[in-house]
Amino acid sequence: MRIVTSEQMRELDRRASEEYGVPSILLMENAGLRAFDVAFRMLGECGGNSVIVVCGRGNNGGDGLVVARHLDQVGVGVRVFVAGRIDEIKGDAKINLDIAIKSGVKVEEISDIARLKSALAHSHLVVDALFGTGLKGEITGLAAQVIEEINACGKPVLSLDLPSGVDADAGRILGTAVYADETITFGLPKIGLAQYPGA
**Which structural domain, as residue segments, surrounds residue 71?**
6-193
Residue 166 belongs to some domain of the structure: yes
Residue 41 belongs to some domain of the structure: yes
Task: Output the domain CATH number for residue 170.
Answer: 3.40.50.10260
Structure confidence by residue, pLDDT tens digits, 146-197:
999 999 999 999 999 999 999 998 889 999 999 999 999 998 888 888 887 8
Residue 198 belongs to some domain of the structure: no
Structure confidence by residue, pLDDT tens digits, 39-66:
999 999 999 999 999 999 999 999 999 9
Residue 199 belongs to some domain of the structure: no
Residue 135 belongs to some domain of the structure: yes
Residue 83 belongs to some domain of the structure: yes
Residue 1 belongs to some domain of the structure: no
Phi-psi region of 39 (alpha: psi -120 to 50; beta: other; left: phi over 0): alpha
Burial per residue of 109-147, b for 16 or more beta-carbon CB atoms within 10 angstroms, e otherwise: ebeeeeebbebbeebbbbbbbbbbbebeeebeeebebbb
Determine if the pTM surpasses 0.75: yes
Residue 76 belongs to some domain of the structure: yes
Q: How many domains does the chain have?
A: 1
